[in-house]
Structure formats: C-alpha cells, structure tokens
Chains A and B, each alone.
Chain A
Amino acid sequence: DTGVSQNPRHKITKRGQNVTFRCDPISEHNRLYWYRQTLGQGPEFLTYFQNEAQLEKSRLLSDRFSAERPKGSFSTLEIQRTEQGDSAMYLCASSLAQSRTTNEKLFFGSGTQLSVL
C-alpha cells in the first residue's frame, strides 16, 4: 500500500498521559496536514507542513499539542497531558503541492482514533 499511513490505528490512554501519533505520507508529497475529526463533524484543521517547515498551527490548539516533520518525510503529532476532550479521530493527509495552491488534492490516511479515559 503506497497511500498515507498512520500509526497506531487506535490509542486508548488515561487522562494526563502523553501520546504520540505518526504519519507517513505518500513519498513524493511535499505537503502534510493534520486534522482532527469528531463524530458528526468535518475535519478540523490543526496544522500543516511544507517539507519540514510548519506553515501554520490552528489557534484552537493549546500548547499541549505539537507536531514535527523533521526531515520533510514522516510527521509526528504529540499531545501532552491528554484530556477527555482530546478524544477524536486524528487524520493525516498529504499532497503534492505546486507553487500555487491551485489544484491541490489531499490524500488522507485512515486516521488514529484516540480515546482518553
């Protein structure tokens, strides 16, 4: 499978613990997005990268959330001191973006379902 890969598929943790998710994008894709989705809602933008540079982080995100893409390939999303409200599906998507935003197409992974008890 050469699509976007996310690990783990499911994560159950206790409140207050730290969790880290990994996303492996399609190999030639230069742009990588993280979204969060809860039941009945659309993907909520968290952050995105162009190669290794983090371009924007949602103002809705607290300082407990951090994302990295150290070599411009895979990315990790860490949540520190998890809260029950962090329970959601965390989606990763990648794209091969040209210099302009025109015609950008996202390829999504299956997501990581986080449950905070």
Chain B
Amino acid sequence: AQSVSQHNHHVILSEAASLELGCNYSYGGTVNLFWYVQYPGQHLQLLLKYFSGDPLVKGIKGFEAEFIKSKFSFNLRKPSVQWSDTAEYFCAVNKESSSASKIIFGSGTRLSIRP
C-alpha cells in the first residue's frame, strides 16, 4: 500500500531563513505528488503538484519542490521564508492511473516563523 512520510513534525525558523521540508513516499510505480498547505483558520489548499516532466516544480508564494525518483522523495523548499508562511504543510501522493486512485496524505509538518 502506498504511504507518505514526513519526518519533520515541527520546524521553527526565523524570517529570511531557507526552508526544506522532507517528504518520502513508498510506492514502486508511477506517482503524482502534491504539497498542500493549511494556514491558521483556513482550508487545506494546493501549494504545488508534480505529475510528469521537469522534476523541479514551482508553486505559489515562491515555493518549489524537487521530485527525486531514486530517493522516493519530494522535498519542499523556499529560499527565504516570511512570517506569513506559518502554516501546516502536508505532502500527498496518488498512483498515476487510467482510472481513479485515492490521494494519501502524510502526517504534516508544522512550520512556525519567528518575526
């Protein structure tokens, strides 16, 4: 069964620091990968996604993620964080398929930014 691991449960950074959040998945086939974000008091929303092509994908608000197939990883990065990036970040995966495939989420990483 597919699964997603996020090893950093809580990350605390100062503004302007660089960010990297880890995400590893377990599934041997072709996958689609996602990062979702939940800002305080708001819905979960899509930050970025990878489904094919360039393994470095760019999302909203300056975030990017790199798909490394050999490492089963899809780490999220941002060169310089802002206080407004304080949120919970969830990595997710589903199998690439010609029919439906459920989307599975990791346990999340809480990001706190010190002003």
Bound pair: A and B?
Answer: yes
Seen from chain A, the residues whose Cβ lies within 8 Å of a Cβ on chain B are 3-4, 31, 33, 35, 40-45, 48, 50, 55-56, 91, 93, 97, 99-110
Given contacts A103-B51, A106-B46, A110-B43, contact A35 B95 (CB under 8 A): no
Write out the residue numbers on chain B whose beta carbons fall within 8 Å of the beta carbon of A3: 43
* Residue pair A50, B44 in contact (C-beta under 8 Å): no
Residues on B with beta carbons closer than 8 Å to the beta carbon of A102 = 32, 51-52, 96
A45 touches B108 (CB 8 A): no
Of the A-B pairs whose beta carbons lie under 8 Å apart in the complex, a sample of 14, sorted by A's number, is A4-B43, A40-B108, A42-B90, A42-B105, A43-B105, A45-B105, A48-B100, A91-B44, A103-B32, A103-B49, A104-B94, A105-B46, A106-B44, A106-B103
Query: With A41-B108, A43-B90 as given contacts, are A104 and B43 in contact (CB-CB < 8 Å)?
Result: no
Give the B interface residue count (CB, 8 A): 28
CB of B20 to closest CB in A, whole Å:
19
19 new A-B contacts at CB < 8 Å, known A42-B105, A45-B102, A101-B97 = A3-B43, A4-B43, A33-B102, A40-B107, A42-B90, A43-B44, A45-B105, A91-B44, A99-B98, A100-B98, A101-B96, A102-B51, A103-B32, A103-B51, A104-B94, A106-B44, A107-B43, A108-B43, A110-B43
Residues of chain B from 40 to 93 with CB closer than 8 A to chain A in the complex? 43-46, 49, 51-52, 90
**Contact assessment for B103 and A100 in the assembled complex, using a CB-CB cutoff below 8 Å:** no
Q: How far is the CB of B76 from chain A (nearest CB, A)?
A: 14
Please give the distance in Å from A55's CB to the nearest CB on chain B: 5
Q: Which residues of A contact B44 (CB under 8 A)?
A: 43, 91, 93, 106, 108
